[in-house]
Structure 1
Amino acid sequence: MELIQRYQHDLSAARAYLLQEISSLNENEFNRFAVEDAWSIGQICHHLWKTEVLFTKAIVFGLKRKPISDAGRKAVEVVLDQAVKYRAPEIAEPDEGPFHVTELIWLLDGSRQQLLEVLVKIEDEAILKEIAVNHPRFGDLPLDQWIELLYMHEQRHAEQIKKLKAHL
């Protein structure tokens, strides 16, 4: 379970960073559009929650599939490059808001708990490298890279929030 423990650590570190950035915000700051044509911090957090729920569903779906031999590795770390812009798939776009900081922290905690419950039940973690599920940006993505992408995606948005806070 060495791999799962590493993922738990990386997921926890990304979440701690995110919570550090949002926990001191009041509702007005959380919902303010600090930069034109950008989401509010609350919307970013809602997007992160929706994404984690979707990723967990993809992993659960994948775990029910048969391994495939040609699930190639993808360069998911590109998500950390703030210069590379992405448009979220419609299914992962946030609601309009307004949002409450405590409610979104609660939602994020719940989605993380669901993900961790799935991960700790995996008996043979090698299967994570052998099963791929289609990702809207990366195509067939091995399950272990879905997990890596999740915490990198959260890191990306925590950095974005940090920058947005300077405009509040």
Structure 2
Amino acid sequence: MNNLVNDNLFETRNNLVKVITLLSDAQFNRKPDTDMWSIAQVCHHLVLVEEASIKAIVWGLKESDRTQKERKNVHHIILDRTKKFKAPKIVEPSAEPFEVQQIIDLLNASRKKLMTFLSTIEDQSILAEKSVGHPALGELPLDQWIEQIYLHEQRHIEQIKEIKLLLDVRC
């Protein structure tokens, strides 16, 4: 995997953990409004998206007829927060409360699964040659599936910062 992607995955995850670490469990689970997610739910969603992305990449690698489609400007699409996306059911977070450390453990486990899986791909160039459908972005090359993990996380870090402001949380 290219170093820039690896660095972005690492840096973004570290930023996420910094943003949530000092929250109390009550702050972590409080919703700013009934139709909004709590910070815990946003983080649980990120775990589910990372796990679903691994499954999609595995599936895409097994498909022989899924050749590369047009590359998309995933940075622009994902980081533009004026455009809202509805999370597919499979990546909707639990309504159950979480402890901050519990979510950090889940985030660490999903990232370890991702990195372990990616290290098993002998010829990384295959990731740019095959594609699979993404629920929000359409047909996407597999290497861009990896990119969207940290970009999606960056998008939600901004959402978490906004939720903290709405809750008047100063950490």
Q: TM-score interval w.r.t. the shorter chain? A: over 0.9
Q: Is the 8 A contact 2:45 2:92 kept in 1?
A: yes
- In structure 1, the gaps of 5 or more residues are none
User: How far does residue 35 in structure 1 lie from its aligned partner after superposition?
Assistant: 3.6
- In structure 2, the gaps of 5 or more residues are none
Which whole-Å CA distance do the structure 2 matches of 1:70 and 1:122 have between them? 17
AA matched with 2:129: E
Q: Is the 8 A contact 1:32 1:41 kept in 2?
A: yes
Which whole-Å CA distance do the structure 2 matches of 1:126 and 1:6 have between them? 15
User: How far does residue 70 in structure 1 lie from its aligned partner after superposition?
Assistant: 4.4
Post-superposition CA distance 1:3-46 (Å, at most 9, x none): 2x322211111101111110110000000012452100000001
1:136 equivalenced with 2:153 (yes/no)? no
Which whole-Å CA distance do the structure 2 matches of 1:119 and 1:136 have between them? 22
Corresponding residue of 2:47: 49
Which whole-Å CA distance do the structure 2 matches of 1:18 and 1:96 have between them? 20
Matches within 5 A, 1:1-168: 1=1, 3=2, 5-66=3-64, 68-77=66-75, 78-168=77-167
AA matched with 1:83: T
| SS of equivalent to 1:166 | helix
TM-score normalized by structure 2? 0.91
| SS of equivalent to 2:166 | coil
Question: Which one is further off, 118-127 or 38-47?
Answer: 118-127
